[in-house]
């Protein structure tokens, strides 16, 4: 069966897919609270003929949609979580929150889920029309932003049945991932001291805030003695109160640590925990270390990367009206790296494999340790648009967003067809995967006893 027939089929589903994406945009929900969004995608899967399993891995907003039987088993990694504080009115080129202080899809995960749904629908249609053997699984993966939903799912073996995993991410350009991404972990360090009158009896107090301050000073000195690719971020989430005449009895800092490999991250984490213990000793306070979550570094796969770009080049690139281009130009003009003269990418560059590690993290990394994985990108945002910005939210329901989503789904469906029709391609991808692992096996960086949790600002 000609791939173009599958591409045409998905084109006919464009309105359906845009409806799913826009519905998720309309109900922006964050880390493990994506109840409405998850149900929106589940119902879309059921309408498309998939068998849906909810509450996967014991996570209320994780799910799987399955169709077919036998090998190969191809997974599509859908997301749908939003970001806090990024509410924005759609369709205007100036910052204007829809709900002041509310959530918004500043990383385009409303599009991401719909695009992976399109890819899964395309593979399903191919299996139906040809009678070929194969299984397609859409994974509803919650809490990519700050919750590492895929890592918790990987810990429970959700991806072990796969032969390959396909993903994509909204962006400003066409392409496929050619390098790695950073592993990370998130940990609370909580100190408990003794309150006292700060003037009359400071000697009786033990300041938890002093402990947090010394901890952060220690982190600053550590920065000189780790690899340049290591990142250490923190937020003081409890200062113990607002009365300076009271020795603060409690304080808390939330740390996010990143490193290019899981092993390097484990070493950095150990050193940071030693600093935390030292701060407790220096201040006579008690320390609680509360591990929140982690995700692995991304293992790239060049075999799948080249194949993904080949499929992108089979697609007809969209055209936009004068009014649409004027809007995208206005958005591009607000971006430091934007090009108002050419706000929409018009070329598909060659796939560029690299040994560089992109200085960001994704829980796709945990899937990439289990099976060969690739993530591609299509233009859904005007040039220069940064992720996690109001600009990304503003164009989230635009023709550019919908077209990019469709193109991503078509390319992923085309790649899935290749993996069915060309067993040698899947074999090469698996061989590269094993070579990159260097004989190692996936070990989830999240300890068994740690459970997914909702992280929110304290009121």
pLDDT attached to residue 456: 63
pLDDT attached to residue 117: 98
Confirm if 116 and 150 have CB atoms less than 8 A apart: no
237 burial type by CB count under 10 A (0-12 exposed, 13-18 middle, 19+ buried): middle
CATH number 2.60.40.1120 given to 183-295: no
Do 3-180+297-437 and 183-295 have matching folds?
Answer: no
pLDDT attached to residue 348: 97
136-to-5, 128, 156, 453 alpha-carbon distances in Å = 18, 11, 19, 29
Residue 124's closest CA among 90, 91, 76, 156?
A: 76
Omega into 117 within 30° of 0, i.e. cis?
A: no
69 burial type by CB count under 10 A (0-12 exposed, 13-18 middle, 19+ buried): exposed
Could you tell me which residues are beta bridge partners of residue 24? none
- Tokens at residue 256, please? 């996010």
Backbone angles phi, psi at 292, to 5 degrees: -95, -55
67 burial type by CB count under 10 A (0-12 exposed, 13-18 middle, 19+ buried): buried
pLDDT in tens, the chain (459 residues): 789 999 999 999 999 999 999 999 999 999 999 999 999 999 999 999 999 999 999 999 999 999 999 999 999 999 999 999 999 999 999 999 999 999 999 999 999 999 999 999 999 999 999 999 999 999 999 999 999 999 999 999 999 999 999 999 999 999 999 999 999 999 999 999 999 999 999 999 999 999 999 999 999 999 999 999 999 999 999 999 999 999 999 999 999 999 999 999 999 999 999 999 999 999 999 999 999 999 999 999 999 999 999 999 999 999 999 999 999 999 999 998 899 999 999 999 999 999 899 999 999 999 999 999 999 999 999 999 999 999 999 999 999 999 999 999 999 999 999 999 999 999 999 999 999 999 889 999 999 999 999 876 543
Q: Is the dihedral of CA 253, 257, 263, 268 positive or negative?
A: negative
Print the SS3 string covering the chain.
CCHHHHHHHHHHCHHHHHHHHHHHHHCCCCCCCCHHHHHHHHHHHHHCCCEEEECHHHCCCCEEEEEEECCCEEEEEECCCCECCCCCCCCCCCCCCCCCCCCECCCCHHHHHHHHHHHHHHHHHHHHHHCCCEEEEEEECCCCCCCCHHHHHHHCCCCCCCCEEEEEEEECCCEECCCEECEEEEEEEEEECECCECCCCHHHCECHHHHHHHHHHHHHHHHHHCCCCCEEEEEEEECCCCCCCECCCEEEEEEEEEECCHHHHHHHHHHHHHHHHHHHHHHCCEEEEEEEEEECCCCCCHHHHHHHHHHHCCCCCCCCCHHHHHHHHHHHHCCCCCCCCCCCCCCCCCCCCCCCEECCCCCHHHHHHHCCEEEEEEECCCCCCCCCCHHHHHCCCCHHHHHHHHHHHHHHHHHHHHHHHCHHHHHHHHHHHHHHHCCCCCCCCCCCCCCCCCCCCCC
CATH architecture of 3-180+297-437: 3-Layer(aba) Sandwich (3.40)
The span from the CA of 156 to the CA of 153, in Å, is 5
pLDDT attached to residue 111: 98
Q: Domain ranges in the chain?
A: 3-180+297-437, 183-295
Flag whether the pTM goes above 0.75.
Answer: yes
Could you tell me which residues are beta bridge partners of residue 294? 185
């Amino acid at each position: 069966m000609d791939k173009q027939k599958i591409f045409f089929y998905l084109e006919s589903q464009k309105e359906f897919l845009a409806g799913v994406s826009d519905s998720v945009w309309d109900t922006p929900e964050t880390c493990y609270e994506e109840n409405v969004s998850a149900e929106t995608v589940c119902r879309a899967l059921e309408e498309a003929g998939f068998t849906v399993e909810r509450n996967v891995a014991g996570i209320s907003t994780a799910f799987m949609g399955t169709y077919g039987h036998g090998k190969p088993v191809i997974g599509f990694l859908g997301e749908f979580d939003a970001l806090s504080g990024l509410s924005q009115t759609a369709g205007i080129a100036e910052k204007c929150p829809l709900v002041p202080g509310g959530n918004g899809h500043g990383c385009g995960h409303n599009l991401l889920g719909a695009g992976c749904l399109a890819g899964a629908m395309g593979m399903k249609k191919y299996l139906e029309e040809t009678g070929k053997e194969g299984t397609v699984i859409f994974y509803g993966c919650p809490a990519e932003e700050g919750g590492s939903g895929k890592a918790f799912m990987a810990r429970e073996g959700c991806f072990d049945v796969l032969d390959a995993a396909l993903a994509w991410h909204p962006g400003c350009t066409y392409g496929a991932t050619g390098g790695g991404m950073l592993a990370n972990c998130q940990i609370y360090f909580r100190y408990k001291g003794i309150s006292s009158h700060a003037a009359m009896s400071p000697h009786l107090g033990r300041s938890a805030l002093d402990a947090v301050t010394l901890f952060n000073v220690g982190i600053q000195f550590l920065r000189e003695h780790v690899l340049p690719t290591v990142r250490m971020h923190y937020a003081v989430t409890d200062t113990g109160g607002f009365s300076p005449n009271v020795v603060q009895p409690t304080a808390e800092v939330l740390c996010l640590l990143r490193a290019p490999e899981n092993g390097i991250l484990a070493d950095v984490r150990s050193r940071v925990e030693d600093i935390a213990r030292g701060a407790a000793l220096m201040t006579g306070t008690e320390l609680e270390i509360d591990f929140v979550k982690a995700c692995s570094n991304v293992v790239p796969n060049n075999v799948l990367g080249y194949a993904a770009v080949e499929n992108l080049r089979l697609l007809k690139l969209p055209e936009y009206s004068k009014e649409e281009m004027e809007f995208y130009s206005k958005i591009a003009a607000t971006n430091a790296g934007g090009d108002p003269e050419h706000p929409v990418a018009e070329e598909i560059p060659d796939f560029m494999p690299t040994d560089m590690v992109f200085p960001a993290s994704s829980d796709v990394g945990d899937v990439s340790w289990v099976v060969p994985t690739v993530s591609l990108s299509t233009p859904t945002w005007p040039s220069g648009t940064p992720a996690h910005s109001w600009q990304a939210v503003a164009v989230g329901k635009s023709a550019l967003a919908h077209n990019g989503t469709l193109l991503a789904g078509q390319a992923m469906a085309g790649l899935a067809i290749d993996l069915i029709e060309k067993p040698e391609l899947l074999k090469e991808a698996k061989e590269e995967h094993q070579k990159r692992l260097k004989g190692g096996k996936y070990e989830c960086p999240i300890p068994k006893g740690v459970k997914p949790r909702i992280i929110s600002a304290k009121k």
